[in-house]
Structure formats: C-alpha cells, structure tokens
Amino acid sequence: MNDPLLLGTRKSLMATTQSQAVADRLTALTGHRVRLAGVTTLGDVSRAHLTQLGGTGVFVNELRSRLIGGEIDFAVHSLKDLPTRQDEQVVIAAIPPRDDPRDALVGTAKFSDLAPGARVGTGSPRRVAQLRMLRPDLEYVAIRGNADTRIGKVTSGELDAVVLAAAGLGRIGREAEISQVFEIDEMLPAPGQGALAVECRADRHDLIELLGVLDDPETRAAVTAERSVLAALEAGCAAPVGAFASGDGHILSLTAAVVAVDGLRSVRTSTSGPTPAAMDLGRELAAAMIAEGAGTLMGEQAH
C-alpha cells in the first residue's frame, strides 16, 4: 500500500485532533502514511438536542456509510457515540489506550462552591441526573455545540459552569480551564467515555490486521463490559446510564448506575469477574439492575 490510507473524521477540532493522534500513532508503528478526510454528520449540522435526534449514531452514521461505500479506509469515533448494536459490515479493529474517563467541570469555582441557583450547562441526561443528586439546588441548562462553544458560554457569563469529558478537554489543550474533575464515585462516566474506536470494513482483513497494532486489550475489556451493560438495558448513548470498569488484566471490576432524571432515585450496582468474561459481566450486572427497578427509571426518562 503506497497510497496513503484515508481516515474519515468529523471536522470539529476535537474529532480532527483525536483522529490525527491515531493517524500519527499508526504511521509511527507501521510506516503507513495516513490522510484525514473530513466528513459532516447529522449531529454536526442539526441544532436539535441529541435526545431529539435519537442520541445514538448521530455522529456515526455518515462516517459508516462512507466506510461501507469504500470512500474512506477507516474511521475514528469517540467510543461513547457508537451504537451498542454492531453493524455487521464494519468492525472495531482497534480500541487504543483510554484517556481520562471522568467528567470535568469548567468554570471559576469548584462544584460545591457554586452559589445556589447557579446555571450549569450540559447536553447529557446522565450528567444532569447525577449532578442533581449532588446539588439539587442548581439550575441545569441543556446545551449543544462543540467544546469551544460550550466553554464560551461560561466566559461570556451566560452560564456559571459547564460539564464536559475530561479526555476531550485534554485532547484540545483546554485542561487549564477545568475547575474540578469529578471522581468516579461522585459521577459515573458514560460507557466508553475517554476511549476511541478505530473502525473499518469487516471484509478488509489486511486493514484489520494493520490497525490491530493500535489495540489495547485492557481498555477493550473495560469498555466491552461497560457497553454490555448499556446494550442489555437497551439504552442509547443519551440515556441516564453511567458505567465504569477497570482491571489488572485478570479481574475486571464493573460499576453501573441508572439515575432518575430528577436525581432523587437511582439504582447503582457493582460486580467483578474474570477479564475474558467482560461481555457476560455487563449483561449480568444489567439483569441485577433491572431486578432492582432500573427499567422503570429509564422508562420515566423516555416519557
């Protein structure tokens, strides 16, 4: 392969930065040149809220159609944006080592120091539900837009703070504006948060093998468990479900929660088991959560 591989990416600063990092890593490990190809997705052009767009897949489908059509060789997604139901025409060839999975507050004060009634922006029902558990006295405002746009609402004074993924802020060099990083026990991240998925066509066996050098088995096991919970709960990426798994290569510990949108009720459970059984671990935890009423909480969110 003398021609550069075409890597499809959304055009935002966040997407192009993380795609370029993957491209550079692949070139360093294999010698193959990679060229970025910008793609506009429904999630980029629609001003509707993500939950109105159906949440799952709005940033993914256009990239996948270019992939299946052969216009690009592979694509890089934020793993938390990927639908849990895998399209049989494509395969996740690699999940590189995960960045910080936690959520971060951008503002001038720590979360506990915000004045009662302060306005906090986020586009995620999962974040709102968990933030309400911690501070029901604040006003939570639904926002859209890229990280720069969201941070701009704080600097302009429109909002007192916004909550974004710590990994994304790190990738675009905006860590200095983080006033607090929420610990996992305070706020469970979205399944797969902080991780990237490198996807290509399922029939490109040469490419699957090539991209495999980027794969991190520990990250793959952890996010497989987290996304297995999401799939078993039949929840999309916009649902109020948090999950986080970590392990030592042998044993995986998994915690997940479904939180009512009012923040008053939640179902939170944990389990652990052998790393190779990551998928089953997630399914079993989801079944335990449903037995404790998680399905009812999610049903309320949908109406």
Catalytic residues: 80-81, 126-127, 144, 150, 237
Question: How far apart, in whole angstroms, are the C-alpha atoms of residue 214 and residue 196?
Answer: 11
The 10 Å Cβ neighbour count of residue 217 is: 11
Q: The tokens 């302009």 sit on which residue? A: 156
Measured over the CA atoms of residue 77, residue 80, residue 81 and residue 83, the dihedral's sign is positive
Q: The tokens 């639908």 sit on which residue? A: 83
Sequence-separated (6 or more) residues with CB below 8 Å from residue 2? none
Residues 192 and 223: beta-carbon distance below 8 Å = yes
Q: Is 246 left (phi over 0), alpha (psi -120 to 50) or beta?
A: beta
The 10 Å Cβ neighbour count of residue 65 is: 14
- Kindly list the distances between the CA atom of residue 237 and the CA atoms of 54, 113, 133, 137, 291, in Å, as whole numbers in the listed order: 9, 30, 20, 26, 22
Beta strand segments in 109-195, E: 119-122, 139-142, 161-165, 178-181
166-202 exposure pattern, b = at least 16 Cβ within 10 A, e = fewer: bbbbbbbebeebebbebeeeebbbbbbbbbbbbbbbe
Strand-pair category, 103-107 with 178-181: antiparallel
Structure tokens at 19: 């795609």
